[in-house]
Amino acid sequence: MTAKKKPRKGSAIEDVSAKVSEAKQRALIQRTTEEIKEAQLSLFDLAPWDDDMRAMPNDYGRSALFTVRNKRQKRMAYEQKAIYHYNNDVLITFTGVELRADDDELVWQQVLEYAKRFTVGEPVYFSMYQLLTDLDWPINGHYYDKAEASLTRLQANAMQVTSPRFGLLDSVSLIDKFKIVNRGTKKAMCRVEIDQKMIYLFAGDHYTKFVWSKYRKLRPITRRLFDYLASHREPYPLKLETFRLICGSESERAAKWKEQTKEACKELTDSGLVSSTWVNGDSIYCERAEQI
Is the model's pLDDT at 6 over the cut of 70?
Answer: no
Q: How many CB atoms lie within 10 A of CB 65?
A: 29
Contacts of 49 (CB under 8 A, 6+ apart): 55, 116, 209
Pair 124, 36 in one domain? yes
Residue (of 159, 171, 144, 13) closest to 81 by Cα position: 159
Pair 154, 29 in one domain? yes
Note whether 264 and 219 are within 8 A (CB).
yes
Note whether 192 and 178 are within 8 A (CB).
yes
Q: Write out the residue range of the structural domain in which residue 267 sits.
A: 218-292
Phi-psi region of 155 (alpha: psi -120 to 50; beta: other; left: phi over 0): alpha
Pair 89, 51 in one domain? yes
In a domain, 5, yes or no: no
Is the model's pLDDT at 95 over the cut of 60?
Answer: yes
**pLDDT tens for residues 228-262?**
999 998 888 999 999 999 999 988 899 999 999 99
Average pLDDT, the chain: 87
**pLDDT tens for residues 19-57?**
445 555 555 555 666 676 777 778 888 889 999 999 999
Residue that terminates a domain, selected from 165, 200, 235: 200
Sign of the torsion formed by the C-alpha atoms of 285, 282, 236 and 88: positive
What single-letter amino acid sits at 5? K
pLDDT interval class at 170 (50, 70, 90): confident
Is the model's pLDDT at 3 over the cut of 70?
Answer: no
Kindly give the interhelix angle for 141-155 and 104-115, rounded to the nearest 10 degrees: 80
What is the pLDDT, as a whole number, of residue 285? 96
Residue that terminates a domain, selected from 200, 234, 251: 200
User: What does the alpha-carbon distance between residue 152 and residue 178 come to, in Å, rounded to a whole number?
Assistant: 7
